[in-house]
Amino acid sequence: MDLSKNLPRQEIKYKVFYKDLGKLYAWLFNAKFNKNFDNRNVNSLYYDTPNLDFAADNISGNSKRIKIRTRWYSKFNENIFDSFSKENQSFNIEFKRKKNNLSDKITLSNFSFNTKNTSMERRNFINDKVYFEISKHPELLKLKIRDIIFVGYEREYYENFISSKIRLTIDKNLVCSNNQSFFNFEKSLISKNYVIVELKFYQDRFQLVKKILNNFPFRQVRSSKYLYALSNYQRFSY
């Protein structure tokens, strides 16, 4: 796994209030975005240092930062490690490196459980795989990274009709759980009022995106679901 690759993709994020979703869907239609996947429930387990250095880098606006998470797709459960469906017993590990608005995501896919694994065995298995990948990078290994917080949401997927390299997602019903309640999922709703919209594209589509966004009715914001979750537990103000 090479963490020094080029950064080809750009992301723009928006916070859209539920009362304005009609405007968003109207814009999607006019801007020629079509749904390209069925909705999915996204489960993400975020990793950080004991002092939450990755979160601090984001808040301070550090132009170079890294995000580490595991991700799987299934309905939420009171115990997050029981939220794997019988059909899907696999998860991915993602290392995301950002520099300003550009990002590069390296995904290690399809780690699978034994269906008879207990919740604790699943958590240990996930973390063992993450720590093994971290061990390949001395600059990360010395940071004593660990699982910090869970974030789940329902995601809608859209793709631009003109260029499939321009994609947009809408994340709804965001919930979170800190590492003290992974096995007794006391769901904390991140917000009842808004969704997170993410526009993702490659740099060679920048001029087309600029044209598409000409009539976009919402303002770009800095937005991190990881930081929203931490702020729910008063770990950070965000």
The domain that holds 124 is classified in CATH as 2.40.320.10
**CA distances for 119 relative to 55, 87, 171, 198, 220, angstroms:** 27, 17, 26, 32, 39
End-to-end CA distance of the chain: 32
Residue 185 has pLDDT above 60, yes or no: no
**CA distances for 189 relative to 14, 53, 222, 225, angstroms:** 19, 24, 20, 12
Which range of residues forms the domain containing residue 110? 9-232
3 falls within a domain: no
Number of domains the chain contains: 1
Specify the pLDDT at position 117. Answer: 76
Q: What is the pLDDT of residues 32-49, one digit of tens each?
A: 999 999 999 999 999 999
Q: What is the pLDDT of residues 48-88, one digit of tens each?
A: 999 999 999 999 888 788 999 999 988 766 667 776 655 56
Residue 219 φ/ψ, nearest 5 degrees: -100, 140
Judge contact between 31 and 132, C-beta under 8 A.
Answer: no
Q: What is the residue type of 229?
A: A
- C-alpha 5/C-alpha 144 separation (Å) is 24
Averaged pLDDT for residues 192-219: 92
1 falls within a domain: no
Q: What secondary structure letter does DSSP report for 221?
A: -
Q: Give the pTM.
A: 0.88
Specify the pLDDT at position 4. Answer: 44
Q: What is the pLDDT of residues 145-180, one digit of tens each?
A: 999 999 999 999 999 998 888 999 999 999 888 877
- C-alpha 232/C-alpha 237 separation (Å) is 9
Averaged pLDDT for residues 9-31: 95
Q: What is the pLDDT of residues 95-140, one digit of tens each?
A: 988 877 778 888 998 788 776 778 888 889 899 999 999 999 888 9
Half-sphere exposure of 201 (CA within 13 A, CB side): 22
37 falls within a domain: yes
Q: Give the lowest-confidence range in 11-15, 179-183, 202-206, 223-227.
A: 179-183
Specify the pLDDT at position 9. Answer: 83
55 falls within a domain: yes
Q: Which of 45, 2, 15, 3 is nearest to 198 (CA)?
A: 15
Q: Which of 232, 235, 222 is nearest to 176 (CA)?
A: 232
